[in-house]
Structure 1
Amino acid sequence: MKSTAKIIVGLALTGLLGACSGHKPATTTVTAKTATTASTIDARPQAQADRKMYYILLSELPGQRTVEDILQIYGAYATSKLKPYFAKAKVPYPPREVTFIALKQEKKLELWARDSGEFRFIRDYGIWDASGVAGPKLRQGDRQVPEGIYRIAGLNPNSHYHLSMKINYPNEFDLFYASQEGRADPGSDIFIHGKAASLGCLAMDDEAIEELFVVTAQVGAENVKVVIAPHDPRTHPLEADSEELPAWTSELYSIISREIKALSPVVKSAKTGL
Structure 2
Amino acid sequence: MRILRLIVILVVALSLSGCGSKFRKYYGPEVTQIQVHKTDRKMYLIHNDRVLKSYDIGLGFAPTGHKQFEGDGKTPEGMYYISHKNPDSNYHLSLRISYPNEADIAFAEKNEKAPGGDIFIHGAPNEKVSRRDWTLGCVAVTDREIEQIYSMVKPGTPIYIFP
Query: With structure 1 as the length reference, what TM-score do the two structures score?
Result: 0.47
User: How many angstroms does 1:129 deviate by?
Assistant: 4.3
**2:69 aligned counterpart, secondary structure:** coil
After the TM superposition, list the runs of 4 or more consecutive aligned residues in structure 1 that deviate by more than 2 angstroms.
128-131, 175-179, 181-184
Choose from 114, 119, 127 the match for 1:185: 114
Query: Using the alignment, how far apart are the partners of 1:129 and 1:143 within structure 2?
Result: 9
Superposed counterparts of 1:179-218, under 5 Å: 179=109, 181-195=110-124, 197-216=134-153
Aligned twin of 1:98: 32
Residues 130, 107 of structure 1: alpha-carbon distance in 2 compared, 3 angstrom cutoff? farther
Q: Greater helix percent: which structure?
A: 1
User: How many angstroms does 1:111 deviate by?
Assistant: 1.2
Query: Using the alignment, how far apart are the partners of 1:128 and 1:134 within structure 2?
Result: 12
Aligned twin of 2:161: 228
Residues 141, 130 of structure 1: alpha-carbon distance in 2 compared, 3 angstrom cutoff? closer
Query: Using the alignment, how far apart are the partners of 1:143 and 1:129 within structure 2?
Result: 9
Q: Which string of whole-angstrom CA distances, capped at 9 and with x for unpartnered residues, describes residues 75-117 of structure 1?
A: 2xxx3xxx7xxxxxxxxx242x521111112111011113xxx
Aligned twin of 2:91: 161
Query: Using the alignment, how far apart are the partners of 2:159 and 2:69 within structure 1?
Result: 20
- The one of the two structures with greater contact order (alpha-carbon pairs below 8 A, sep at least 6) is 2
2:61–2:137 CA contact under 8 A, matched in 1: yes
Q: Which string of whole-angstrom CA distances, capped at 9 and with x for unpartnered residues, describes residues 182-232 of structure 1?
A: 33411111111001752211110112111111111xxx312x1111111xx
CA RMSD, aligned part only? Answer: 2.5
1:156–1:165 CA contact under 8 A, matched in 2: yes
Query: Using the alignment, how far apart are the partners of 1:192 and 1:210 within structure 2?
Result: 11
Residues 178, 128 of structure 1: alpha-carbon distance in 2 compared, 3 angstrom cutoff? closer
Query: Using the alignment, how far apart are the partners of 1:140 and 1:111 within structure 2?
Result: 27
Query: With structure 2 as the length reference, what TM-score do the two structures score?
Result: 0.76
Gaps of 5+ in 1: 1-11, 14-45, 56-69, 84-92, 231-274
Residues 174, 129 of structure 1: alpha-carbon distance in 2 compared, 3 angstrom cutoff? closer
Query: Using the alignment, how far apart are the partners of 2:140 and 2:89 within structure 1?
Result: 12
1:157–1:164 CA contact under 8 A, matched in 2: yes
Gaps of 5+ in 2: 1-13
Aligned twin of 2:80: 150
Aligned twin of 1:131: 61
Q: Which string of whole-angstrom CA distances, capped at 9 and with x for unpartnered residues, describes residues 43-98 of structure 1?
A: xxx8xx8332x46xxxxxxxxxxxxxx3xxx22xxx3xxx7xxxxxxxxx242x52
Q: Which string of whole-angstrom CA distances, capped at 9 and with x for unpartnered residues, describes residues 139-167 of structure 1?
A: 11111111111101110001110001111
Superposed counterparts of 1:1-274, under 5 Å: 50-52=18-20, 54=21, 70=23, 74-75=24-25, 79=26, 93-95=28-30, 97-114=31-48, 119-179=49-109, 181-195=110-124, 197-216=134-153, 220-222=154-156, 224-230=157-163
